[in-house]
Amino acid sequence: MVRVTDARYVRDYVIWVQFADGVAGEVDLRSELHGEVFRPLRDKNLFRAVSVNPDWHTVTWPNGADLAPEFLHDAVTARLTRRSSRPPPRRRSGRAKSGAGRGG
């Protein structure tokens, strides 16, 4: 069973969530804020009021909106996977290109 243990507002429509299995990360919910229940969360003052419901083990808002913890977990793990699959940045050797700095 997927359980949210902590959640915090980060910025805009992004929250940080932590799960009982140790996975933690940010989720951008901007594209999820549609429909009768979620549209009111476009008000950032309401969106900032995110909390964890201890009975449901997921994030909730004062207007009754909540998200499935499985959805959130999948979103965080997908984001973490995308970040770790990027190639590492190229290192600069610090050496001058051949011919650079040579006279004449």
Average confidence (pLDDT) per 10 residues, the chain, 104 residues: 97 97 96 96 98 97 98 93 60 52 50
pTM: 0.77
Q: What pLDDT, on the 0 to 100 scale, is given for residue 98?
A: 47
Q: What pLDDT, on the 0 to 100 scale, is given for residue 81?
A: 80
Q: What pLDDT, on the 0 to 100 scale, is given for residue 20?
A: 97
51-53 and 58-60 strand pairing: antiparallel
Count the Cβ atoms, other than its own, within 10 Å of residue 11: 11
Q: What pLDDT, on the 0 to 100 scale, is given for residue 53?
A: 97
What is the rounded distance in angstroms from the CA atom of residue 63 to the CA atom of residue 65?
6
**Beta carbons within 8 Å of 77's beta carbon, 6+ residues apart:** 23
Is 37 in contact with 26 (CB distance < 8 Å)?
Answer: no
Q: What pLDDT, on the 0 to 100 scale, is given for residue 88?
A: 54
Q: What pLDDT, on the 0 to 100 scale, is given for residue 80?
A: 82
CATH superfamily assigned to domain 4-66? NE0471-like N-terminal domain (3.30.2020.10)
Is 59 in contact with 6 (CB distance < 8 Å)?
Answer: no
Q: What pLDDT, on the 0 to 100 scale, is given for residue 103?
A: 52
Give whole-number Cα distances, 30 to 46, 71, 98, in Å: 14, 14, 50
